[in-house]
């Protein structure tokens, strides 16, 4: 990937961003890639020389790297920080870097530091559950020690003291989020399924056949919603409903309003969160329909 510096930022930031590239060691696939869309992983591989990112778009990545560096430098007895583990499954070398493993008499407590948003802490984040359960699988397979619990150590970059007290709002900018630990058999089945999806995509890429499409979850597709608009102010929704019937019922009881259907938009594809969208036929086909 080419890193550009469109805003002429200082050399210190340029060097840091160049040196902070992720090193997955000698593995074919990482735990993070396993949970991601096989289509994205293949398109990234194929177009890695053409991909471009400006340093100004790498702020959160730089902050995340800096945060990991700080925690890695702190030594706590009984806690292993930033350990990359490797294993093999069906001929694949799988690796995962685990931020924190606290050894307790009855098992290992796994933790992952996230520089994240308040929204992420307040809402369900299935990716956190997948990622930490793959780590738990890796730790148990490699170390033969049971995993006791999983946690996200969330640093909320947009936390505001004035919002404390609102329903579900984190009480502090640094909070621990407990993540459900699956039974080992469920973790194993999940890893097997993800590996198969990636192996199939690898075969498709080698043969030049069409890659499987990204799922709505891969695309961070929002649900279809129904907005009731006041006719005198069509730029902003008055009320938004998940159900068309409820929106129509509300509109029937109101005056001078229009109900508009907001399609289920693929947020990741449309808002430049997916760096391979320019090479993606699925994106092009679906975009014509939107």
- Residue 274 interacts with ligand SF4 (CB under 6 A): yes or no: yes
- Residue 277 interacts with ligand SF4 (CB under 6 A): yes or no: yes
| Binder among 39, 114, 194, 198 for ligand SF4 (CB under 6 A) | 39
Which window, 5-13, 94-102, 158-166, 267-275, contacts ligand SF4 (CB under 6 A)? 267-275
- Residue 269 interacts with ligand SF4 (CB under 6 A): yes or no: yes
Number of residues that bind ligand SF4 (CB under 6 A): 16
Residue 283 CA to residue 288 CA, distance in Å, equals 9
Cβ neighbours around 52 below 10 Å, total: 12
Cβ proximity to ligand SF4, 248 vs 273, nearer residue: 273
- Residue 41 interacts with ligand SF4 (CB under 6 A): yes or no: no
Residue 27 CA to residue 50 CA, distance in Å, equals 23
- Residue 194 interacts with ligand SF4 (CB under 6 A): yes or no: no
- Residue 27 interacts with ligand SF4 (CB under 6 A): yes or no: no
Contact 71, 252 (CB under 8 A): no
Q: Please give the residues from 197 up to 256 whose contact with ligand SF4 meets the rule CB under 6 A.
A: 214, 218-219
Long-range contacts formed by 154-160: CB under 8 A, 24+ apart: 154/114, 154/116, 154/120, 154/121, 155/67, 155/113, 155/114, 155/115, 155/116, 156/116, 156/117, 156/118, 156/121, 157/60, 157/63, 157/115, 157/116, 157/117, 158/117, 158/118, 159/118, 160/118
Q: How far is the CB of 92 from ligand SF4 (least distance, A)?
A: 22
Instruction: Note the residues at the interface with ligand SF4 (CB under 6 A).
Output: 37, 39-40, 43, 214, 218-219, 266, 268-269, 274, 276-277, 280, 282-283
């Amino acid at each position: 990937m080419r890193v550009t510096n469109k805003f002429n930022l200082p050399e210190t930031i340029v060097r840091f961003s160049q040196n902070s590239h992720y090193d997955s060691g000698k593995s074919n696939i990482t735990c993070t890639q396993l949970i991601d869309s096989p289509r994205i992983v293949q398109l990234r591989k194929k177009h890695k020389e053409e991909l471009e990112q400006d340093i100004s778009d790498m702020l959160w990545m730089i902050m995340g790297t800096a945060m990991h560096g700080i925690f890695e430098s702190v030594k706590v007895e009984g806690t292993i920080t930033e350990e990359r583990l490797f294993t093999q499954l069906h001929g694949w070398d799988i690796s995962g870097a685990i931020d924190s493993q606290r050894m307790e008499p009855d098992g290992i407590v796994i933790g992952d530091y996230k520089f994240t948003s308040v929204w992420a802490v307040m809402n369900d984040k299935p990716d956190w559950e997948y990622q930490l359960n793959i780590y738990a699988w890796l730790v148990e397979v490699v170390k033969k020690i049971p995993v006791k619990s999983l946690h996200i150590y969330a640093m909320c970059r947009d936390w505001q003291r004035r919002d404390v007290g609102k329903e579900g709002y984190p009480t502090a900018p640094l909070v621990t989020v407990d993540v459900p630990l699956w039974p080992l058999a469920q973790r194993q089945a999940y890893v097997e399924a993800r590996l198969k999806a990636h192996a199939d995509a690898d075969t498709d890429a080698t043969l030049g056949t069409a890659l499987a499409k990204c799922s709505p979850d891969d695309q961070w597709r929002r649900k279809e919603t129904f907005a009731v608009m006041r006719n005198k102010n069509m730029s902003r929704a008055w009320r938004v409903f998940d159900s068309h019937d409820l929106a129509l019922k509300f509109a029937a009881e109101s005056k001078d309003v229009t109900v508009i259907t907001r399609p289920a938009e693929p947020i990741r594809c449309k808002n430049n969160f997916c760096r391979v969208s320019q090479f993606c036929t699925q994106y092009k086909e679906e975009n014509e329909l939107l």
